[in-house]
Amino acid sequence: VTTAATTVTALCGGVGAARLLRGLQEAVAPGGLVAVVNVGDDCDLHGLAISPDLDTVTYTVSGQVDGERGWGLVGETWAALAALERFAAVRPGGSQAGATWFALGDRDLATHLYRSGRRAEGAPLSTVTGEVAAAHGLRFRLLPVTDDRLRTHLSVTSEADPAVAEDLDFQSWFVGRRHRGRVTAVRFEGAEEARPAPGVLEALAGAERIVLCPSNPVVSIGPLLAVAEVRQVMLDRRDDVVAVSPIVAGAALKGPAASLLADLGHEVSVVGVARLYASVAGTLVIDEADAELAAAVEAEGLRCVVAATVMHDQQAMTALAELVCRC
Ligand code: FO1
């Protein structure tokens, strides 16, 4: 067995990544772990700057996430949201003021109020993210992939007329439409101009190992790789990159990854994931349920490691984290 990596940089989306990070926080020595997180899901509502993937990672690793939803806080109350209902009757058409389709809990609001207040004072997202992570006792560096504007948009066939594609921002599709409709294209607005946030390139270039967490390859990992300098480091360091497949036995454990991959013409299997990641990852970790596809994954040019990748509990998370650090 090779010695476990002592410095790891993890590329993360939301729920799947957060669970592995809980394990990596245990498996990697203090000061050795950096998480670079997607901001393509970020949204501006109620005049607030909301970063769902950064918050899901923060809440999950600090043990406060609502385990059933995978986002937001356990034991949450929704009084502020309920109070907004009063304005629905008077809100002009086209206005998003007081909208309640995106559920913000009372305690979750504290995070958005703090982040928005600091951003209004001119603090970059990466600076505020460090403060929010410290306030939640995270024991590793949490970085947004960029401090610039980077937003995921999807072209979706409209429910009214399938011949017409609508352009939806991520949350309007994921939450507003419950990720229904056929996705015909995904784009990352701002990707050309977006620069890596301070510390991101150093963390990617300097870590012994880079881990691609089991997040949605298209809308969670995609935005990270859309930042040109991030992608270039991944291409250069492909042999030190270990990816964990978010697809197990032809399905995603949570969220729309399977239908999204299918809509965009990718094979919904660990082989499809291997093809997507072949240029940026030298190793793909797949679940035991897909063991018979290991040879097909290796035929795509990646080393394949079979392991238990479905993280039911903390012990399973830590075990998978230890494996990705030493495999
Ligand atoms: N997901 C939902 O399905 N419905 C919601 O109302 C919702 C609200 C929400 C508020 C804050 C937050 O940080 C996340 C929230 N999410 C909600 C989840 C979010 O859409 C996803 O976590 C990511 O953007 C995809 O990983």
Mean pLDDT of 95-113: 97
Rounded distance, CA 251 to CA 229, Å?
31
Task: Print the SS3 string covering 143-168.
Answer: EECECCCCEEEEEEECCCCCCCEEEE
The CA–CA distances, whole Å, from 41 to 13, 54, 132, 154, 262 equal: 9, 10, 18, 11, 21
- What does the block give as tokens for 22? 């809980």
> In angstroms, what is the span from residue 156 Cα to ligand 1's centroid?
19
pLDDT digits (tens, 9 = 90+) for 188-199: 999 999 999 999
From 53, 71, 73, 170, mutation site for ligand 1 pocket: most ligand atoms within 8 A of C-beta: 71
* pTM reported for the whole predicted model: 0.97
Percent of the chain with pLDDT over 70: 99
> In angstroms, what is the span from residue 16 Cα to ligand 1's centroid?
14
> In angstroms, what is the span from residue 106 Cα to ligand 1's centroid?
14
- CB 235 within 8 Å of CB 280: yes
> In angstroms, what is the span from residue 15 Cα to ligand 1's centroid?
10
> In angstroms, what is the span from residue 6 Cα to ligand 1's centroid?
33
The pLDDT score that the predictor gives to residue 311 is: 85
Which residues face 189 on adjacent strands? 151
Q: Give the closest residue (by CA) to ligand 1 atom 26.
A: 14
Percent of the chain with pLDDT over 90: 91
Selection from 121, 29, 110, 28 nearest residue 72 by Cα = 110
> In angstroms, what is the span from residue 195 Cα to ligand 1's centroid?
25
Confidence at 283, pLDDT banded by 50, 70, 90: very high
> In angstroms, what is the span from residue 55 Cα to ligand 1's centroid?
10
Task: Please calculate the CA angle 113-115-119 and round it to the nearest 5 degrees.
Answer: 115
- CB 71 within 8 Å of CB 55: yes
Atom nearest to 103 CA in ligand 1? 6
**Residue 294 pLDDT more than 60?**
yes
**Across all residues in the chain, what is the average pLDDT?**
96
Q: Give the closest residue (by CA) to ligand 1 atom 18.
A: 71
Pocket flag, ligand 1, residue 55 (CB < 6 Å): yes
The pLDDT score that the predictor gives to residue 1 is: 47
**Residue 217 pLDDT more than 50?**
yes
Q: Is 266 helix (H, G, I), strand (E, B) or coil?
A: coil
**Residue 2 pLDDT more than 70?**
no
At residue 86, what are phi and psi to the nearest 5 degrees?
-55, -30
Q: Give the closest residue (by CA) to ligand 1 atom 25.
A: 14
pLDDT digits (tens, 9 = 90+) for 224-275: 999 999 999 999 999 999 999 999 999 998 889 999 999 999 999 999 999 9
Mean pLDDT of 41-66: 97
Pocket flag, ligand 1, residue 103 (CB < 6 Å): yes
Rounded distance, CA 77 to CA 81, Å?
9
Pocket flag, ligand 1, residue 171 (CB < 6 Å): yes
Rounded distance, CA 121 to CA 7, Å?
33
Residues whose CB falls within 8 Å of the CB of residue 277, separated by 6 or more in sequence, listed in order: 212, 217, 243, 284, 302
Pocket flag, ligand 1, residue 277 (CB < 6 Å): no
Q: Beta-strand (E) ranges in the chain?
A: 8-12, 33-37, 43-45, 48-50, 141-144, 151-157, 165-169, 183-189, 209-212, 241-244, 247-248, 251-252, 283-287, 303-307
Confidence at 10, pLDDT banded by 50, 70, 90: very high
pLDDT digits (tens, 9 = 90+) for 131-186: 999 999 999 999 999 999 999 999 999 878 888 999 999 999 999 999 999 999 99
Q: What is the DSSP letter of 72?
A: S
